[in-house]
Amino acid sequence: AEALGSGTAAFLRKPVGDNDRAAAKRFLAAGRDGLDLGNAQEALLSAEEAVRKDPNNPAAWGLKADALNALGRFSEAEAAAQRSVDLDPGNAKGLRALVWAQLHNRKAEEAAGNATKLIRLDPENAESFLLRAFAYELAGDRDRMLADLRTAAGMDPRFANHLARALAGLRLFDPEGDNSGLMGMLPPPPVRKIEIPWGLLGLLAFAGSAAFAAWRWRGEAEAFVRERLLPRRTVGAGLSVRTETPRPEEALLAGKYRLERVAGQGGMGKVWKAYDPALQRPVAVKEMSPAAVAKPQFRALYLKEARALAALPHPNLVEIFEVIETSAQIYLVMEWVSGRTLQQILAEKGALDLEAAKAVLSPVCEALAAAHARGVVHRDLKPANIMVAASGRVKLIDFGLARELGRAEPEGDGEAGGAAGVLTAARTRSLAGTPAYRPPEALQGLISPAFDVFSLGVCLYELLTRQLPFGPEGLTGENGKFVPASELVQGL
């Protein structure tokens, strides 16, 4: 292996002519083809030629590391990957090869640190969280391992059984074992043999098969949404280095979260993109507006609904990690979701066909059903509040937590109803929702699960026709008619 230092990229670079640089690119392409076809030895020979022609090319060193990893020569792979990263610290492929080699070389701390760099390059890449989970497993840090596995499984359904096997106490990464299939889907953990009555066994088998079918359907649906609605990306492409200036440690919110930038702002407050240094992941922090937080009745309702949502785990709802209450402010710490809203997708792609519309709204229906069962009403369902994450998973965002509180006081039993004691069938003096999507009863301040169902119908109509059924002002007494979607879309 080449003797490698940890100097800067400028120090490592050597003069290379245009002809050698072009030749290196040809060897690099041939090596990638060889690796894709499973010929690691051929890929290594091509990579070595590419390095010989252009030792300044980080991709050539990265290819060499990948080939050496595939051949099980992990010490040499680590050296080559380190050279790739030294030449280009933002090189995700080189970092990934470096982490894989360091895991096999039992360098848990170094692997975890480099996996964290990968996560900072692309916080939506589930594989990076999975790699760091392996490093934490190697270090014996079970809590952090499980936290990263939960994040990875939430981003990509392929990794659900990694989490299940870890929770069952099974080892995932073995430095001495065959880990070639570890980055793909694993089988579920084996069921322990216990005595179960035959009748109960049949019920469990039915429930298990139904759950597996639902899980498989969800994975297939997310893949369909990802392929149909999101732009294509290649592995390692589209990565950007984290550029936000970190705040000093004393600026950590509640001693835990570093607020980095305002990601959105509205009448009820603002949403920060933040960072959790302990779990090393991005989070969203929703900050209530000073005008709203100053009113005790609104503050209490906001907290009650936030806690109800926090107790409502669902794969298509944004998870609330923590509610932070101070004398002057209320903060909701939530899952950070990167992706595109349906509003953005409609603007980019135009109307969707029926299959795509069903695929993206079916998980919204599931999320709403779960919320309604707990007495939680969204109150502002629209394409701008439906997010399609990079993994293809659909997330319902921005629940109407005490929405429009600055406009009016709640009237009567505004907090009544629902298992969670939050707003279900209630009457308020404020108008919830966005005019184009809210039902006529909203004009009387009446809010119930039917509010969301009406909004869902408007969303479906808009996805299929690219039009609003009642225009931007919504349904009123004067415009109760609309053109059926089947008359606007041929073959619907």
Six token digits for residue 125: 């890449």
Task: Output Rg (C-alpha) for the chain, integer angstroms.
Answer: 26
Using alpha carbons only, what angle is made at residue 354 by residues 351 and 358, rounded to the nearest 5 degrees?
A: 110
53 touches 24 (CB < 8 A):
yes
Residues present in the chain in total: 492
The two structure tokens encoding residue 375 = 């007495």
8 Å CB contact between 398 and 389: no
What is the phi/psi pair of residue 269, to 5°? 145, -155
Integer CA distances (angstroms), 114 to 102, 149, 383, 457, 471, in order: 9, 17, 37, 46, 51
Which residues have a Cβ under 8 Å from the Cβ of 186 and sit 6 or more positions away?
Answer: 161, 162, 165
d(CA 101, CA 116) in angstroms, rounded, equals 15
Strands across the sheet containing 269-276: 258-266, 269-276, 281-288, 330-335, 320-325
Cα–Cα nearest to 314, from 384, 373, 230: 373
| Active-site annotation holder among 86, 122, 380, 398 | 380
Nearest to 380 by CA among 306, 316, 423, 434: 434
Give the C-alpha distances (Å, rounded to integers) separating 424 from 1, 77, 406, 433, 447.
Answer: 67, 59, 20, 14, 6
Active site residue 86: no
In the chain, % helix, strand, coil (3-state, to 5) comes to 50, 10, 40
Active site residues per annotation: 380
